[in-house]
Amino acid sequence: MTETGIVVQTGPGKAQVRIQRSEACEGCHGCLMSETGKFMTADVIDRIGVSVGDEVSIATEGASPLKSAVLLFLFPLILLFAGYFTGSAIAPLIGMPGSAQALGIACSALFFFGSFGLLYLFTHRKSGASAGASAIVEILGKGRTMEP
């Protein structure tokens, strides 16, 4: 998603940008936190060296829908089957060949529910990274002001 805004404050590697409300941010309602409800101020990554008053273009990259779908649906399903085959294979090795199906079902349940724990750890670790952070990608104009 790309938005435009005016830089109101700069810092080392970061900037605060005042973003005017647009149709793209219709569902966000972040602007309603401000005094007029027509803009919001966002902290963004500054890699190109902007100054106060510059009109800039900001890009925010979210997670890929395909990658999210694979992680959420395919990963637990793969672990479900892997758990069944692991449990069935282990049963004869531990002297329980008659209980291979029961052990396979138990291991598949364990692997399936464990996959959600692994997904939680993966997303929790990724949330600390700046992968989804907004960044300034272009300076559109110098020294403009934005009306409140």
60, β-bridge pairs: 134
pTM, two decimal places: 0.50
- Residue spans of alpha helices (H) in 18-99: 65-69, 75-93
pLDDT tens digits, residue range 19-62?
876 665 555 555 555 555 567 787 888 888 888 888 888 887 76
**What's the Rg (C-alpha) of the chain?**
25
Report the topology of domain 2-62+132-141.
OB fold (Dihydrolipoamide Acetyltransferase, E2P) (2.40.50)
14 pLDDT exceeds 80?
yes
Residues in the chain: 148
Where exactly are the structural domains of the chain?
A: 2-62+132-141, 65-127
pLDDT computed for residue 130 by the predictor: 47
Alpha helices (runs of H) in the chain, residue ranges in sequence order: 65-69, 75-93, 100-127
Rounded to whole angstroms, the Cα distance separating 65 from 74 reads 13
Structure-token pair, residue 132: 């989804």
List, for residues 67-87, the tens digit of each pLDDT value.
778 888 999 999 999 999 999
Q: Which residue has the tokens 């936190």?
A: 33
